Each structure stands twice: as structure tokens, then as C-alpha cells.
């Protein structure tokens, strides 16, 4: 792996390991950060440790890198098929050392590139959950981590001279450039896995019943009804014995209120509201009931009925215009999540239809008719080896 901190290297490494293992390959990740935290008893989270002018820090980091290279070589010489060196490997010099240490094996460099500021900020916040930042305030930890990134940027040399590499847009799963000059085993599988969205366990939930649901009104920012609060509690009880590290919601009260009891039942869980998962904006029809729209705005009611997917509410949205933001929300979710752990999204009816269709590959005209109940949820497992979609009850 190659890339600056917070660019998705570890997420990609985990994704590759999970995918390749299903092909009966023996794969192991050698993560320099994990080894550093185990080897060095003192806290090394302070940014100065990563300063290229800090000779002691450089020596320690080089030692850690060499140990992992040696361990990777031993693993490959024994019974391992693929070793993943998960580190920044920021300089050409470091990559030359990898070549010298492991040159009797095939080497493929995968560089993760992402300059989306919003995603990077969110990724940095995720990093702060590590114990090494526990003694710092959030503001101090963010400042320290950004300075760490700046130190790596000062020595960073992107891939361009190496014999075998893939440069990856790690947010959008796009190959930006590649150079494969050897017949490297498994490279086709690796390339395919890098380009594919993979979720091992995704729980897609619609918010509980709201006061607007009772009145058959659309949009708005209504709170949960008493029945909706009971649904949220039932969900919390159902997922109480499952580890849910992250819950992604919209910015609307009803999704956050549904997620809060679930978080309360977890030992360690964070709610991340994303604007991309906000419900469809119904424009001039916001907060109206369907009956009011039918009677007061018959042209809107009639036109939308003809082509529900492509119809755009006046001064609002349609399914067709939601597509890009929902896609971005999915990419954010997968970028910030560990692909081997459970992922939960609490969304809305139209939003969840769009998310489900992303993995189901439904015809666009059918998307507005996908069944999204409030008393059940969808379980999705979408990998190269398994496509599973189940509608499950929780009460």
C-alpha cells in the first residue's frame, strides 16, 4: 500500500484481504501503525514523532518498517500467498527497500489517492478513536494528526517510476493509472476487487413512525410518534448483541431519533449524520399530505404518477436528481467503515430505495416501488462471492 494518512489504505487492505481469502488464498496484513503501537511503550501519537527531521523518530519508523517486511517475507516463504504491507510507503527510497527485501517475490504497489476535503475531515475524526489520542482533546488531536499528514506530504513521492502499480481513487473506486510490466499472480482479482463496492453485513433501516406518517404528510422534519419510539427501542433490543461501531443517518430528526437507542445499547458506537441521506426534497409539496396534493396540485399529482422516477417536484428533487448524492453517501459510508464489520444506515423510504437499488441493480423505473416498511429492515451482503438480500423483522 502507498498513500498519505487518512486516504483509505487500511480500508482497501481489509477489503482485499476479505475478498482474496474467499478465493482460498492465504492473505495477511502487516500494518506498521499497529506494530508501532505494540512495540513502543511510550505514546507516539504526537506529530513531532513523524517529522522527517526527527532522527530518532525516523530510525524507529524505519526499524518498524523493516520488521514488517521481514515478517512478510517469512510469511510468503512459509505458506502465505499474499502479504499486504499497510503503511504510507511515502518515498521512492522506502519502496526501493521493499524491492530489495522482497525482490524474490512479485511486488504490486497500490496507491490510494483522495483529496476530498469533507471525506478527509471525517476520516481524521475516525482515526481519533484510537487509544493513542485519548489524552488529547478533540481539537488537539485533529491539529496533531493534520500536522502528521503535513510531515508525510513533505517527503511524499507518488507512484510513477515503479514497475508494477495501480493508482486508485479510493473514494470512488476508480483506477486513475496503472503500470503492470510483469505477469503478477492474482492481479486480475485485485483489480476487480478494487473497483467493486463490497459490504459484508449492511443493515438498512427506515426510521420509525413519525407524526407526519400518521397524517400521511411528506418531507419536513417531524419527530417520531410514540409508536416510532417503541420501534426504535425494539431495534435497539434486536441489535443489542451485535457489534455496530457506526450508524449512518440523515440529518433529519426522525433518523437520528431512531438511531439513538441503538447507540445506547452498544459499548462503542458513533452516529454520523450525512446530508446525502436526507429524504427527497418535495419542493412546493413539502409537509403536504398526498390527498392535499391530489386536490390542490392535480397537475403535480398526475405528472408524477406517469413517471415517478424521472419526475422532479417543482422547486425540489426527484429520484433521478437524487442519484448522485445517494451514490456519494454510499461511497462515504464504505470509505469510513471497516468492511469486515457491521454497517448500519438509518434512512428514509425514497433514500433506502435508492441505496437498495445500488446493490440490487434494479431497473430505474422500478426503484420508486421497492418495498421499504417501517417495521422491518433489509440485510445486505454484497461481495464477489455472495449476493444476499433479506427483509427481516425485529419485533
Q: Is 207 a catalytic residue?
A: yes
Going by C-alpha positions, the residue among 111, 138, 141, 149 that lies closest to residue 6 is 149
Q: Is 348 a catalytic residue?
A: yes
Q: Is 254 a catalytic residue?
A: yes
18, 111, 279, 317: the active-site residue:
279
Q: Where are the alpha helices (DSSP H) in the chain?
A: 9-21, 32-39, 55-78, 92-102, 117-127, 138-155, 187-194, 211-214, 226-238, 253-264, 290-296, 298-306, 319-336, 349-360
> How many C-beta atoms surround the C-beta of residue 112 within 10 A?
24
213, 278, 342, 352: the active-site residue:
213
Query: Dihedral of CA 376/243/337/127: which sign?
Result: positive
| Cα-based distances in Å from 143 to 80, 128, 136, 154, 266 | 39, 11, 10, 17, 29
What are residue 200's phi and psi, to 5 degrees? -85, -45
What are residue 110's phi and psi, to 5 degrees? -120, 115
94, 348, 349, 358: the active-site residue:
348
3-state secondary structure of 31: strand
61, 95, 148, 207: the active-site residue:
207
Q: Are 209 and 225 in contact (CB under 8 A)?
A: yes
3-state secondary structure of 201: strand
61, 206, 304, 328: the active-site residue:
206
148, 254, 304, 358: the active-site residue:
254
The length of the chain is: 395
Q: Are 277 and 345 in contact (CB under 8 A)?
A: yes
Q: Are 5 and 126 in contact (CB under 8 A)?
A: no
Going by C-alpha positions, the residue among 161, 199, 192 that lies closest to residue 2 is 161
Going by C-alpha positions, the residue among 7, 61, 51, 68 that lies closest to residue 152 is 51
Active site positions, annotated: 206-207, 213, 254, 279, 348
Amino acid at each position: 500500500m502507498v498513500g498519505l494518512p487518512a486516504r483509505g489504505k487500511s480500508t482497501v487492505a481489509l477489503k482485499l484481504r476479505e475478498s482474496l481469502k474467499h478465493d482460498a488464498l492465504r492473505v495477511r496484513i502487516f500494518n506498521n501503525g499497529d506494530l508501532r503501537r505494540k512495540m513502543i511503550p511510550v505514546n507516539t501519537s504526537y506529530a513531532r514523532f513523524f517529522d522527517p527531521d526527527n532522527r530518532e523518530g525516523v530510525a524507529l519508523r524505519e526499524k518498524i518498517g523493516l520488521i514488517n517486511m521481514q515478517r512478510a517475507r517469512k510469511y510468503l516463504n512459509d505458506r502465505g500467498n499474499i502479504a499486504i504491507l499497510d503503511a504510507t510507503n511515502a518515498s521512492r527510497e522506502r519502496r526501493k527497500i521493499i524491492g530489495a527485501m522482497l525482490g524474490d517475490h512479485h511486488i504490486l504497489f497500490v496507491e490510494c489517492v483522495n483529496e476530498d476535503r469533507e471525506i478527509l475531515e471525517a476520516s481524521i475524526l475516525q482515526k481519533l478513536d484510537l487509544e493513542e489520542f485519548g489524552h488529547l482533546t478533540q481539537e488537539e488531536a485533529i491539529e496533531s494528526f493534520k500536522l502528521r499528514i503535513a510531515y508525510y506530504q513533505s517527503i511524499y513521492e507518488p507512484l510513477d517510476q515503479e514497475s508494477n502499480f495501480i493508482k486508485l481513487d479510493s473514494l470512488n473506486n476508480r483506477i486513475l493509472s496503472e503500470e503492470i510490466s510483469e505477469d503478477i499472480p492474482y492481479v486480475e482479482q485485485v483489480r476487480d476487487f478494487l473497483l467493486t463496492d463490497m459490504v459484508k453485513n449492511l443493515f438498512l433501516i427506515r426510521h420509525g413512525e413519525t407524526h407526519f406518517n400518521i397524517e400521511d404528510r411528506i418531507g419536513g422534519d417531524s419527530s417520531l410518534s410514540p409508536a416510532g419510539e417503541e420501534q426504535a427501542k425494539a431495534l435497539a433490543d434486536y441489535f443489542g448483541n451485535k457489534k455496530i461501531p457506526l450508524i449512518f443517518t440523515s440529518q433529519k430528526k426522525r433518523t437520528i431519533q431512531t438511531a439513538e437507542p441503538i447507540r445506547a445499547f452498544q459499548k462503542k458506537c458513533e452516529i454520523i449524520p450525512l446530508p446525502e441521506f436526507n429524504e427527497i426534497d418535495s419542493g412546493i409539496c413539502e409537509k403536504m399530505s398526498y390527498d392535499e396534493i391530489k386536490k390542490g396540485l392535480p397537475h403535480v399529482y398526475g405528472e408524477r404518477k406517469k413517471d415517478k422516477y424521472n419526475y422532479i417536484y417543482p422547486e425540489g428533487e426527484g429520484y433521478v436528481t437524487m442519484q448522485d448524492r445517494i451514490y456519494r453517501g454510499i461511497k462515504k459510508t464504505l470509505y469510513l467503515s471497516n468492511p469486515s464489520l457491521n454497517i448500519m444506515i438509518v434512512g428514509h423510504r425514497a433514500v433506502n430505495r435508492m441505496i437498495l437499488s445500488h446493490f440490487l441493480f434494479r431497473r430505474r423505473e422500478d426503484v420508486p416501488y421497492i418495498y421499504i416498511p417501517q417495521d422491518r429492515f433489509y440485510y445486505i451482503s454484497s461481495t464477489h462471492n455472495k449476493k444476499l438480500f433479506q427483509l427481516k423483522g425485529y419485533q
